[in-house]
Structure 1
Amino acid sequence: MTRQGGSTATPPLPRLTAARAPLTREVEVVDEHGARERVSIPAERDLTIYVDRRELVTLMTLGAQPELLVLGYLLNQRLVKSAFDIESITVDWEVGAAAVKTHAGVDRIEERTAKKVVTTGCGQGSVFGELMADVDRIALPPTRMTQAQLYTLVNAIRLQESTYKSAGSVHGCALFTLGDEGGADAEMQIFVEDVGRHNAIDTIAGWMAMRPQEGEGALGPARVFYTTGRLTSEMVIKSAQMGVPIVVSRSGMTQMGYDVAQRVGLCAIGRATNRRFVCYAGADRLVLQPELAS
Structure 2
Amino acid sequence: MLSAISRGRDVAAPARAVPEETAVALVYDGSTEAVMMATPADLEDFAVGFSLVEGIVGSPGEITDLSIVAGPAGIELRLWLAAPRADAYGRRRRRLAGPTGCGLCGIESLDEAMRPARRIASDLSVASTDVAAAISALEAAQHLAHATHATHAAGFFVPGRGLVALREDVGRHNALDKLAGALARRGIAGAGGVVVITSRVSVEMVQKTAAIGAPVLIAVSAPTALAVRTAQAAGLTLVVMARGTGFEVYAGVERLRDLAPHG
TM over 0.5: yes
After TM superposition, list the pairs within 5 Å mapping 1:251-290 onto structure 2: 251-288=221-258
Alpha-carbon deviations, 1:261-284, whole Å to 9, x = none? 111111111111111111111111
State the partner residue of 1:99: 78
State the partner residue of 1:15: none
1:109 to 92, 95, 108: 92
State the partner residue of 2:124: 143
Report the alpha carbon displacement of residue 29 of structure 1 after superposing the two structures with TM.
4.5
Give the number of the structure whose residues are more often strand, by fraction.
Answer: 1
Alignment check: 8 A CA contact 2:165 2:183 kept: no
3-state DSSP of counterpart to 1:191 = strand
2:214 to 236, 244, 250: 244
After TM superposition, list the pairs within 5 Å mapping 1:174-189 onto structure 2: 174-178=155-159, 185-189=160-164
State the partner residue of 2:18: 41
State the partner residue of 2:115: 133
3-state DSSP of counterpart to 1:231 = coil
What residue ranges of structure 2 are gaps of 5+ in the alignment? 98-102
Report the alpha carbon displacement of residue 199 of structure 1 after superposing the two structures with TM.
0.4
State the partner residue of 2:7: 31
1:69 aligns with 2:46: yes
1:205 aligns with 2:180: yes
State the partner residue of 1:191: 166
Amino acid at match of 1:193: E
1:156 aligns with 2:141: no
Report the alpha carbon displacement of residue 211 of structure 1 after superposing the two structures with TM.
3.2
> Matched residues in 2 for 1:201 and 1:113: separation?
25
> Matched residues in 1 for 2:110 and 2:87: separation?
14
Amino acid at match of 2:63: I
What residue ranges of structure 1 are gaps of 5+ in the alignment? 1-23, 118-126, 179-184, 290-294
> Matched residues in 2 for 1:148 and 1:258: separation?
23
Alignment check: 8 A CA contact 1:83 1:209 kept: yes
2:36 to 52, 59, 81: 59
State the partner residue of 1:228: 198
Give the number of the structure whose residues are more often helix, by fraction.
Answer: 2
3-state DSSP of counterpart to 1:80 = coil
Report the alpha carbon displacement of residue 249 of structure 1 after superposing the two structures with TM.
0.6
> Matched residues in 1 for 2:251 and 2:18: separation?
36
> Matched residues in 1 for 2:258 and 2:155: separation?
22
Amino acid at match of 2:245: R
Alignment check: 8 A CA contact 1:45 1:62 kept: yes
Alpha-carbon deviations, 1:133-184, whole Å to 9, x = none? 353x624212110112222212212322421111111111101112xxxxxx
Change in 2 beyond 3 A, CA 1:269/1:112? farther
Report the alpha carbon displacement of residue 93 of structure 1 after superposing the two structures with TM.
2.7
Report the alpha carbon displacement of residue 109 of structure 1 after superposing the two structures with TM.
3.0
> Matched residues in 2 for 1:169 and 1:100: separation?
29
Aligned residues: percent identity?
Answer: 24
> Matched residues in 2 for 1:199 and 1:128: separation?
21
Alignment check: 8 A CA contact 1:171 1:193 kept: yes
State the partner residue of 2:60: 83
> Matched residues in 1 for 2:45 and 2:216: separation?
22
3-state DSSP of counterpart to 2:112 = coil
> Matched residues in 2 for 1:247 and 1:90: separation?
31
Alignment check: 8 A CA contact 2:236 2:252 kept: yes
Alignment check: 8 A CA contact 1:153 1:186 kept: no
Report the count of equivalent residues: 243
TM-score (normalizing by structure 2): 0.83
> Matched residues in 2 for 1:280 and 1:186: separation?
26
